Amino acid sequence: MRYTIGIDYGTMSCRALVMDALTGAVCGISECVYHVYEGHLPDGTVLPDRMALADAAEYRTALVKVVRDAIAAAKINAADVVGMAVDATSMSLVPCKSDGTALCCLPEWKSEPHAYIRLWKSYTATREAEEIGSLAREQKRGFLAACGGYPSSEGAYPKMLETIRKAPEVYEAADVFVDLGEWLNWQLTGELTRDTGTMGLKNYCWDGKTLADADFWPQLDSRLTNVNDKLRGEILPWGSKVGCLTAEMASEMGLKAGISIGAAGLDGHCPIMAIGLHNVGDAMLTIGTSGVLAILATEWKVIPGVCGAGWNTATPGYYAYDMCQSGVGDMFGWFVKNCVPARYEEEAKAQGISVHTLLSRKGFALPVRPDAPVAVDWWNGSRCVVVDQTLSGAISGLRLSTTPEEIYCALVQAAAFGVRVMIEHAESCGVPVNRICVCGGIAAKNPLLVQCYADILGRTLEVSTLPNSAAAGAAIGATAAAGIYSDLNEAMAALSTTEFIVYEPDMQKHAAYEALYSRYLRMREDIRKE
């Protein structure tokens, strides 16, 4: 038998999945949680508002634990594992020394926020993102095409600019800045490599050939003379081998040294490998803490406000267009945590279900009314189409008779309306969406939510039945890296799932949602004018 392991690093936890490399069968899964530091660091250091950090030491500990636990759950001989690959939250920036040590792991940096992993949802570099975009547009810099003309404050460049302004000693101490998946591979192999997904779709506005011109950055700050050097490393596509597992990590994980490690993937896009998307117009919608819509195409189109676009950044031989929402699951979670009466929690507990499920059952049993509450999904700012992380969400149409379930459903509907805006925007720019497959933990747990999305979009949605499609996608990438298949396309053809739960839209409800969608669009414009 031959097995590979896919490891999926999300915002709150990581999951490892053991896959039979010949059949695609899932043999074992494990999970390990870790902290997101908002408000203060472990030592009590107060953090700025909207900063979200993680500790690299916790992530490395989780990496070892989750692999050991997955092997135990699979009840396999660890000697039969031939490869491994990770995916991780993108735009999670790690400042490192030249040997791969994250600065936050060194005693002298334990109280410095900018030395920690700056998670994707850290939005303190909004001003810097606006400055970069404004100057680049003024100078007609070509690298902007890969990020829709508007760099995200989540990305590497704004965070690096903010670091040199607010913590210049951290910027100087960091020999290299890497994305989280790249750092994890560095720990596994002892070698620094980059991946095409991160470089093109997310952090670095990479056009497939070069980074942004080095002469651009000193115009923003005279100290930024070595940006591209701090982004060095060979760039490799998904499914390729980036190195071999070191003896040290192999000993800690209980694996053989020297097994193949595949190029890192993005957590929001790695499911593409598991669900086998390989046609023009195929799209993957991930409904999680944030939301991701990735669309495949064979032609290059300029899409203003897209999060990222690049060749060979997802399915080999295709362009991928990345469109995202900054807040989805965390928006629902905020409401449940802060706004739901205790009696709902007691009712959910009595029924043995989550509060989210209770609110969905109550709310989606109600008819769609044109005067129902409507929300805008910018509770964490707007990442796509309208690119402005300073924007905020809103709810309108509240009455004294409004119930928690009506507000909860308004938030779900807002997220679905946001996806509709992204699809309509992509198609207006010449990028069609013909098929939509859905992944993410929320989609698996809440079928009523998925049906709401289908009804609002007026499109068929196919939900993957895989227990963790991101980790499965990473495991498939690992089979190609290990040479079990000739390339990633062959691995996808052999191992990707063909089992989906299909949600057909209720076109009567779709028509009923039109009035709410019109109100949603007007609210978006009103918020932007404020």
Asked if residue 307 belongs to a domain, the reply is yes
pLDDT value, residue 212: 83
For the chain, the residue count is 530
Please report, rounded to a whole number, the percentage of residues in the chain having pLDDT higher than 70.
99
Contact by Cβ (8 Å): 235, 194: yes
Mean pLDDT of all residues belonging to the chain = 94
Amino acid sitting at position 34: Y
Helix runs in 38-179, H state only: 56-74, 126-138, 156-166, 168-173
Domain of residue 497, CATH code? 3.30.420.40
DSSP 8-state secondary structure symbol assigned to residue 429? T
Q: Looking at the structure, do residues 292 and 335 belong to the same domain, yes or no? A: no
Q: In the predicted model, what is the mean pLDDT of residues 480-499?
A: 95
Give the residues across from 436 on adjacent strands: 283, 461
Domain count, the chain: 2
Name the residue range of residue 283's domain: 276-327+425-503
Q: Looking at the structure, do residues 346 and 487 belong to the same domain, yes or no? A: no
pLDDT value, residue 312: 84
pLDDT value, residue 427: 97
- Pairing mode, strands 81-88 and 3-9: parallel
Q: In the predicted model, what is the mean pLDDT of residues 466-474?
A: 92
Give the residues across from 52 on adjacent strands: none
Phi and psi (nearest 5°) for 518?
-65, -40
pLDDT value, residue 66: 98
Q: Looking at the structure, do residues 455 and 496 belong to the same domain, yes or no? A: yes
Q: Looking at the structure, do residues 288 and 315 belong to the same domain, yes or no? A: yes
d(Cα 360, Cα 474) in Å, to the nearest integer? 32
Q: What is the pLDDT of residues 172-211, one digit of tens each?
A: 999 999 999 999 999 999 999 999 888 877 767 776 777 7
Q: Looking at the structure, do residues 408 and 512 belong to the same domain, yes or no? A: yes
Concatenated DSSP letters for 245-286? --HHHHHHHT--TT-EEEPPEETTTTHHHHHT--STTEEEEE
Neighbouring residues of 529: CB distance < 8 A, sequence distance ≥ 6 = none
Asked if residue 217 belongs to a domain, the reply is no
Phi and psi (nearest 5°) for 117?
-70, 120
Q: Looking at the structure, do residues 408 and 515 belong to the same domain, yes or no? A: yes
Among candidate residues 259, 240, 241, the one with its CA nearest the CA of residue 249: 259
Asked if residue 345 belongs to a domain, the reply is yes
Contact by Cβ (8 Å): 283, 433: yes
Among candidate residues 365, 292, 293, 290, the one with its CA nearest the CA of residue 332: 290
Contact by Cβ (8 Å): 177, 156: yes
Asked if residue 21 belongs to a domain, the reply is no
CA Rg value for the chain = 22
Q: Looking at the structure, do residues 497 and 518 belong to the same domain, yes or no? A: no
Q: Looking at the structure, do residues 454 and 339 belong to the same domain, yes or no? A: no
Q: What is the pLDDT of residues 144-172, one digit of tens each?
A: 888 888 888 889 999 999 999 999 999 99
d(Cα 347, Cα 352) in Å, to the nearest integer? 9
Largest CA distance in the chain: 65
Q: Token digits for 401?
A: 């008779």
d(Cα 251, Cα 282) in Å, to the nearest integer? 41
Task: Indicate the SS3 state at residue 382.
Answer: strand
Q: Looking at the structure, do residues 291 and 302 belong to the same domain, yes or no? A: yes
Q: Token digits for 490?
A: 């062959």
Contact by Cβ (8 Å): 312, 487: no
Q: Token digits for 324?
A: 């995202």
DSSP 8-state secondary structure symbol assigned to residue 118? E
Q: Looking at the structure, do residues 360 and 474 belong to the same domain, yes or no? A: no
Asked if residue 443 belongs to a domain, the reply is yes
Q: What is the pLDDT of residues 247-258, one digit of tens each?
A: 999 999 999 999
Amino acid sitting at position 124: T
Q: Token digits for 72?
A: 């135990």
Among 15-29, 99-113, 288-302, 477-491, the least confident range: 288-302
- Give long-range contacts, CB 8 A cutoff, 24+ apart: 43-47: 43/110, 43/111, 45/111, 45/112, 45/113, 47/113
pLDDT value, residue 67: 98
Please report, rounded to a whole number, the percentage of residues in the chain having pLDDT higher than 90.
83
Asked if residue 444 belongs to a domain, the reply is yes
Query: How many DSSP H helices and E strands does the chain contain?
Result: 17, 22
Contact by Cβ (8 Å): 291, 421: no
pLDDT at 288 over 70: yes
d(Cα 289, Cα 338) in Å, to the nearest integer? 17
pLDDT at 11 over 80: yes
Asked if residue 213 belongs to a domain, the reply is no
Q: What is the pLDDT of residues 329-350, one digit of tens each?
A: 999 999 999 999 999 999 999 9
pLDDT value, residue 207: 67
C-alpha dihedral (247, 252, 256, 261), degrees to nearest 10: -80
Amino acid sitting at position 3: Y
Strands (E) in 24-97, as ranges, are 26-33, 53-54, 81-88, 93-96
pTM of the model: 0.90
Q: Looking at the structure, do residues 433 and 309 belong to the same domain, yes or no? A: yes
d(Cα 184, Cα 174) in Å, to the nearest integer? 17
Contact by Cβ (8 Å): 203, 243: no
Q: Looking at the structure, do residues 288 and 430 belong to the same domain, yes or no? A: yes
